[in-house]
């Protein structure tokens, strides 16, 4: 029952059995974690029934019936506590959360600046290039996540000679494809109501394909080597099922370059580099 309006309150004031009014757009989440699955979005003015409280989180029932958690930290910006606690409410102990695993899929697009900058610049005309791909992530309620991703870089340049660091182009097309398949383990942490930061690291299988015009298969390159990477990024919750984010990754992929070709001429043996990505994530 609505008892009062416009009273600012702390979580301690809004005991279970009371109500709160959302004053700004917000979300109801599956668990009392900023990086858990978003169950619903709440429009300003919505009144929620408080089922439990674990400061700074409220367990609430949303108008459409879903039950979840709403952050009360700095809640003055987002909610007003409207009701007093009821006698039948449970004690304000921490909720018992079932450790649930969320599964998310993502697509990503970005650009890589290769560590072997001179080699890529000689053959493709650029030391950086676009990468796109996608993957899947399993996020656990304790913040850990595990993900697998697939990416692809492709550029068509030309065969060259390098003499005294000077590049001489031959006009023969040369297509380079780099395909990293990576697994990452990391940790996610909410930094605000809608923003989650994360860091991680892992290994990858980096496939390099190089196909020259008029060459036969034996003359082309198709090799895969293991590389290592670390990454970090931020996600922003757009809807209960959609996140957007930005991510940076540094990868080290030894042993695949530097034995022949222009990479040998430039003494560059690392196929890795620094990648900046835009990510679009969909939660299930």
Q: What residues make contact with another protein under the rule CB under 8 A?
A: 116, 119-120, 123, 158-163, 166, 168-172, 174, 176, 208, 210, 212-216, 219-221, 223, 256-257, 259-263, 265
**Which residue lies nearer to another protein by CB, 212 or 234?**
212
**Which residue lies nearer to another protein by CB, 180 or 186?**
180
Q: Which residues pair with 268 in a beta bridge?
A: none
CB of 149 to another protein, least distance (A): 23
**Which residue lies nearer to another protein by CB, 146 or 205?**
205
**Which residue lies nearer to another protein by CB, 163 or 284?**
163
CB of 227 to another protein, least distance (A): 15
Question: What does the alpha-carbon distance between residue 79 and residue 114 come to, in Å, rounded to a whole number?
Answer: 47
H helices of 103-260, in order, are 117-124
CB of 118 to another protein, least distance (A): 11
**Which residue lies nearer to another protein by CB, 154 or 192?**
154
**First-last CA distance in the chain:** 34
Q: Furthest-apart CA pair in the chain: how many Å?
A: 85
**C-alpha closest to that of 109 among 84, 132, 93:** 132
CB of 249 to another protein, least distance (A): 21
CB of 115 to another protein, least distance (A): 13
Cα 1 to Cα 18, 66, 274: the distances in Å are 8, 19, 56
- Backbone torsions φ then ψ of 4, nearest 5 degrees: -150, 165
Structure tokens at 70: 């709403």
Determine how many CB atoms are found less than 10 A away from the CB of residue 124: 20
Q: Which residues pair with 236 in a beta bridge?
A: 195, 244
């Amino acid at each position: 029952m609505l008892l009062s309006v416009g009273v600012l309150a702390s979580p301690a004031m809004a005991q279970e059995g009371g109500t709160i009014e959302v004053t700004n757009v917000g979300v109801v989440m599956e668990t009392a974690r900023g990086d858990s699955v978003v169950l619903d979005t709440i429009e300003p003015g919505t009144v929620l029934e408080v089922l439990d409280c674990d400061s700074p989180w409220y367990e609430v029932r949303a108008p459409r019936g879903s039950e979840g958690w709403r952050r009360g930290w700095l809640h003055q910006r987002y909610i007003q506590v409207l009701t007093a606690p009821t006698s039948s409410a449970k004690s304000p102990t921490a909720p018992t959360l079932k450790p649930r695993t969320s599964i998310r899929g993502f697509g990503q697009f970005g650009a890589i600046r290769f560590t072997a900058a001179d080699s890529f610049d000689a053959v493709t005309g650029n030391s950086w290039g676009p990468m796109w791909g996608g993957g899947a992530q399993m996020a656990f309620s304790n913040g850990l996540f595990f993900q697998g991703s697939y990416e692809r870089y492709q550029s068509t340049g030309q065969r060259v000679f390098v003499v005294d660091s000077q590049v001489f182009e031959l006009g023969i097309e040369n297509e380079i494809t780099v395909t990293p398949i990576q697994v990452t383990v990391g940790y996610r942490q909410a930094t605000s109501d809608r923003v989650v930061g994360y860091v991680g690291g892992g290994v990858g299988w980096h496939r390099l394909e190089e196909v020259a015009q008029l060459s036969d298969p034996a003359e082309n390159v198709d090799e895969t080597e293991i590389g290592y990477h670390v990454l970090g990024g931020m996600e922003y919750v757009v809807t209960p099922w959609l996140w957007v984010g930005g991510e940076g990754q540094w990868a080290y992929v030894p042993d695949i370059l530097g034995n022949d070709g222009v990479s040998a001429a430039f003494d560059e043996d690392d196929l890795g580099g620094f990648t900046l990505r835009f990510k679009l994530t969909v939660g299930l």
